[in-house]
Structure 1
Amino acid sequence: MRRPLSLAEWLLVLVAGYLVVLKLAFSLAAFPIADEAYYWMWGQHPAWSYFDHPPLQGWLQGLTHLVFGRSLFALRLPAVLAFAGTVWIYLDLARRFAGEAWRPVFLKGLVVYLAAPMFGLFGSVVFNDYLMVFLVLASGALFFRFFADVEGGGTGRRLHLYGAAALLGLAALAKYNGALLGPAVVATVLLRPRLRRLLRRPDLYLAAALALAIQTPVLLYALQTDFASFRFHLADRFQGHFTGLIPREMLSAAIGTLVTLSPFLVPALLRFFLGWRLPPFERPARAVAVLVFALSSLPLLYIANYSTILPWWNIAAFVLALPFLGRHIDRVTLSLHALYGMVFATLFVVNFTLVPVHSLLGVRPFYETDHAFGWDGLAAAVSEARERHGAQFLATNRYQTASQLAFALDDPQVVALSSRRDAFDDWFDPKTRLGQDAILLIDGSEDMQTFRRHFARITEIGTFTAAPFGHPMLTYTLYLGDGFRPL
């Protein structure tokens, strides 16, 4: 007979429930953050792959739009489903490595995940990361089961091995750093004596071939574009060159990651990474998790010496460790972590659904918040200007603004005209707009020179200021561009 929940378990359920409610509130109420709308635009322009990232997120956005139309529900449905899958995997893993004590371990692990801003909150934002995280977790869970069986003297189920390989291929098809799990798995097989006998089995090589075969769309796109996406991620996006170690910059990158993850998880991570008394299921899993952590973190620390590192770029480092922290985190640290996550999540949801928290403090919001409000009124102003001036198309000076305007209008033909390379360059043919007039929406002075070169004449025709609850934020300027000319 199942025993009733203890007081501590009820508290964990309440914390998890509160954080889930916040996730759903964000999902159903927040206007698409800039890159969310950009990936929605991918779904309106199906392709083998895309300049910024692999194609799986774009394909999913195209599918949900096809089935449900343009809505916040359709936009963020994949993230909601990924979260549901994550909960199931956490539950399954807890039952496997915690035995009869699985329930408190699962609930603590769930709170660890939800209260970590990098996962609980960021997992609701439909950037490519949420999808990569879920697929790496799902693949890792199957690899854990396969390796535990082999180390226990069994042969391992082929279904687990090939399923893990397929999910690994999909993880890399969601975001390139999902591929880090591949070398971590190979290194685990090489480093653990009981797993080395797998090197004599053709199954291991066939599974690797399956994961690689799933990358065919990315390879086709690379061949079509002279490997533009790979060149962008491996070199072009990182300004500067390595001239030596700069401890201050490396420390700054590490602190940014820990703030986004939650500093209160560090003791539990150290216990998991360095502990000696682990149950059999957890031992090969720990090896894979540590290797993914190193393969993700060390290159980013190196790059931090000469370029800016955004905290969530290192999200892959922690995906496979988090499910086990419910067994390694103590009550005090978990309480602090939960409080940290609830405050962070509350401010985050208020910031994107009601009014920017920065504005209340008299500080200028960061870019994503700055562009999160006023789109209903802005879309109406753009539509009115287009009708009044008889313009043939709409354009902006940033891919983010173009994507958000396209989502607000449900018009995937909005154009981004910028000197920066982006996906719009793959689906917009300038020759089709030769000589046409356009309504131009500008959210700043950036790259106005490109606009002026594209048109025979540009005339300012109005402004619009986003002001949620009376708090003035960003002012957009509307222009009429006469006589478009391709460059």
Structure 2
Amino acid sequence: MERLVQTIVQKRLLPLVLVALVFIAAKIIFALITIVAADEAYYWVWGENLALSYFDHPPLNAWLIGLTSIFFDNNVFAMRLPTFLTFAGTLYVYWLFACRLFPKAPERAFLLTTIGFLASPTLFAWTSIVYNDHLLIFLSLAATYAFADYFSAYSTDERTSTKPLYAGALLLGLAALSKYNAAFLGVSIAALVIAHPRLRTLLLRPHIFVAGLLCVLMLTPVLLWNIQHDFASFELHLVDRYDRPLFTSFKADTFIRYLASTFIYFGPVLMIPLVAIFFRQRDLDQFGNMTIWIARLMIAFTFVTFTALSTRGAVHWYWGAIAYALMLPFLPILLKNMWLYGVHIVLGLTFVVYATVNYSYAPVELLLGGQSSEVARVYGWPEAGELAVQLERKHGPIYLATTGYPTAAQLAHTLDRTDIYDLDPRPSHFSFVERKAIAPGADAVILHDQFGNLEGTAARFERFSKIETFVYTAHGVDINKFEFYLGEGFISDGDQ
């Protein structure tokens, strides 16, 4: 510890250390006190129904949530514990990159990379909550390091050890078990091998193909689940998400929303290094050149693909999180003006305060007289859950259901129950765990919020009537509204 302090003082790193520690402390507070989001509750439901894979995503995140649920109670700390571990792993991989890319000043490079990462709103938040991205980012970074290590050594000596190659394949397979977006990294690795003259000879050797096979074998649970369910997950992501065929029309609203949200939520300052990385960078060794080409290919593939897809339907900005994470190890040479770091830090801290208040105290927009439906939806669940149980007892024996899968997940997590039904006729995870339909002729108490499909759910009953309305109010402001309905005489799918 004394040696570390001396290094920080001698190299004038104290300001950077303090900034990094402030962000890390803020990240811990954010993870511990903010309310569980709808998708987090949805993944918790998955973890309570362990399966080979799931309708919306591959299984690794749900498996880990299910594992933590075994050892801990149903609480925020237990749910988000994996994010602390993957964040530590992410920092360790960034340290490895700093040592290889900037051997003369790895401490400074590591701190700049860490600050760049934590001051990015998306990278800060998406590695603090148990969305699949916290695993995807860590495992993709680790896989990239392993591949770059092997490729740089192979380009000098073809007899080099293949251990990093197989480690990279294993890590890439785990990343793909976290989220399908890892496919872009796989494509980037393959493109580099094919295009790079010093790596092309790998195609004449068995190891690159065996490594590829290892990666594919890691996806066996996903493939088996999709085979068993008519490739439902693949169809969701490749077909059902989008309203129109590619290049047949142009949806300006989703296109503009994708570009604007990317600019805002990854951080405006990071747009500069995102472009600068495509210019020639001097003084990089072979490892640096291999890494930067993987990053360039990853950025190009993801940005072009998602921009094109945004012209035909909704595309979320955070789907490109890996590309930004891979750009950050080069931040010390891509963003040289320290005042730009200052701007990035101020914007990042502003977001941290705003997001923490938004998801723990009250939606800031509502307090100021505006609207904030996405944030408001996380509030009032303990009270709504208690009311749901009271109505269930009053009208019971009866089923407890909702008009949409996010609402069903939030109610299930709130009550620590897995017997909550999603009666929205549209497919979701609940379609594959027999929670999409109740017994023919049965009755149900149904919770509805503004995101649910009330009309579609009501059509599945002979009689459907409102029995209760609850408005969650805090700080003198109406924040979230819950409606309860009694559905009588469920109509089975075969009778509709």
Task: Evaluate the alpha carbon distance shift between residue 391 and residue 17 of structure 1 in structure 2; reply closer, same or farther with a 3 A threshold.
Answer: farther
- Greater Cα offset, 432-441 or 121-130: 432-441
Q: Point out where structure 1 has 5 or more consecutive residues left out of the alignment.
A: none
**Which of 128, 132, 139 is the equivalent residue of 1:135?**
139
**Aligned residue type for 1:352:** Y
| CA shift for structure 1 position 235 | 1.3
Task: Evaluate the alpha carbon distance shift between residue 430 and residue 337 of structure 1 in structure 2; reply closer, same or farther with a 3 A threshold.
Answer: closer
Task: Evaluate the alpha carbon distance shift between residue 187 and residue 233 of structure 1 in structure 2; reply closer, same or farther with a 3 A threshold.
Answer: same
Q: Encode CA deviations 1:431-452: one digit per residue, 9 max, x unaligned.
A: 7633433221111385223332
| CA shift for structure 1 position 13 | 1.9
Equivalences for residues 452-467 of structure 1 within 5 A? 452-467=458-473
Alignment correspondent of 1:69: 73
| Alpha carbons 2:254, 2:315 under 8 Å: kept | no
| CA shift for structure 1 position 392 | 2.8
Alignment correspondent of 1:18: 22
The alignment status of 1:257 with 2:262, answered yes or no, reads yes
Alignment correspondent of 1:419: 425
Alignment correspondent of 2:366: 359
Alignment correspondent of 1:347: 354
Alignment correspondent of 1:193: 197
Equivalences for residues 362-401 of structure 1 within 5 A? 362-367=369-374, 369-401=375-407
Q: Encode CA deviations 1:309-361: one digit per residue, 9 max, x unaligned.
A: 22112223223111221343221111111111111111011100111111122
| CA shift for structure 1 position 247 | 7.9
| Alpha carbons 1:79, 1:130 under 8 Å: kept | yes
Task: Evaluate the alpha carbon distance shift between residue 391 and residue 324 of structure 1 in structure 2; reply closer, same or farther with a 3 A threshold.
Answer: farther
- Greater Cα offset, 72-81 or 2-11: 2-11
- Greater Cα offset, 191-200 or 425-434: 425-434
Q: Encode CA deviations 1:247-283: one digit per residue, 9 max, x unaligned.
A: 8865553232121111112222333331330421210
The alignment status of 1:266 with 2:271, answered yes or no, reads yes
| CA shift for structure 1 position 96 | 1.2
Matches of 2:119 and 2:305 in 1, distance apart? 27
- Greater Cα offset, 1-10 or 131-140: 1-10
| CA shift for structure 1 position 453 | 2.9
Task: Evaluate the alpha carbon distance shift between residue 429 and residue 264 of structure 1 in structure 2; reply closer, same or farther with a 3 A threshold.
Answer: closer
Equivalences for residues 195-344 of structure 1 within 5 A? 195-241=199-245, 242-243=247-248, 250=255, 252-280=257-285, 281-330=287-336, 331-344=338-351
**Which of 57, 71, 82 is the equivalent residue of 1:53?**
57
| CA shift for structure 1 position 393 | 2.3
| Alpha carbons 2:420, 2:435 under 8 Å: kept | no
- Greater Cα offset, 382-391 or 453-462: 453-462
**Aligned residue type for 1:140:** T
Matches of 1:392 and 1:353 in 2, distance apart? 33
- What's the TM-score once normalised by structure 2's chain length? 0.93
Matches of 1:235 and 1:430 in 2, distance apart? 22
Residue aligned with 2:104, SS: helix
**Aligned residue type for 1:260:** Y
| CA shift for structure 1 position 188 | 1.0
**Aligned residue type for 1:335:** G
Aligned Cα root-mean-square deviation (Å):
2.1
| Alpha carbons 1:398, 1:418 under 8 Å: kept | yes
Matches of 1:431 and 1:256 in 2, distance apart? 37
- Greater Cα offset, 66-75 or 287-296: 66-75
| Alpha carbons 1:107, 1:326 under 8 Å: kept | no
Matches of 1:436 and 1:51 in 2, distance apart? 27
- Greater Cα offset, 453-462 or 74-83: 453-462
Alignment correspondent of 2:8: 5
**Aligned residue type for 1:351:** N
Task: Evaluate the alpha carbon distance shift between residue 430 and residue 398 of structure 1 in structure 2; reply closer, same or farther with a 3 A threshold.
Answer: closer
| Alpha carbons 1:98, 1:327 under 8 Å: kept | no
Task: Evaluate the alpha carbon distance shift between residue 55 and residue 249 of structure 1 in structure 2; reply closer, same or farther with a 3 A threshold.
Answer: closer
- Greater Cα offset, 69-78 or 460-469: 460-469
Alignment correspondent of 1:157: 161
Identity of aligned residues (%): 35
Alignment correspondent of 1:106: 110
Task: Evaluate the alpha carbon distance shift between residue 141 and residue 339 of structure 1 in structure 2; reply closer, same or farther with a 3 A threshold.
Answer: same
Alignment correspondent of 1:85: 89
Matches of 1:431 and 1:440 in 2, distance apart? 13
| Alpha carbons 1:147, 1:156 under 8 Å: kept | no
**Aligned residue type for 1:476:** F
Matches of 1:476 and 1:191 in 2, distance apart? 56
Matches of 1:98 and 1:430 in 2, distance apart? 55
| CA shift for structure 1 position 244 | 5.6
Task: Evaluate the alpha carbon distance shift between residue 138 and residue 378 of structure 1 in structure 2; reply closer, same or farther with a 3 A threshold.
Answer: same
- Greater Cα offset, 254-263 or 423-432: 423-432
Task: Evaluate the alpha carbon distance shift between residue 201 and residue 146 of structure 1 in structure 2; reply closer, same or farther with a 3 A threshold.
Answer: same
Residue aligned with 1:478, SS: strand
Matches of 1:27 and 1:107 in 2, distance apart? 21
Q: Encode CA deviations 1:406-439: one digit per residue, 9 max, x unaligned.
A: 0000001111111221110110256763343322
- What's the TM-score once normalised by structure 1's chain length? 0.94
- Greater Cα offset, 371-380 or 301-310: 301-310
| CA shift for structure 1 position 245 | 6.4
Task: Evaluate the alpha carbon distance shift between residue 251 and residue 283 of structure 1 in structure 2; reply closer, same or farther with a 3 A threshold.
Answer: farther
Alignment correspondent of 2:101: 97
Matches of 2:257 and 2:449 in 1, distance apart? 30
Task: Evaluate the alpha carbon distance shift between residue 263 and residue 293 of structure 1 in structure 2; reply closer, same or farther with a 3 A threshold.
Answer: same
| CA shift for structure 1 position 94 | 0.5
Task: Evaluate the alpha carbon distance shift between residue 189 and residue 250 of structure 1 in structure 2; reply closer, same or farther with a 3 A threshold.
Answer: same
Alignment correspondent of 1:148: 152
Between the two proteins, the alignment pairs up a number of residues equal to 486
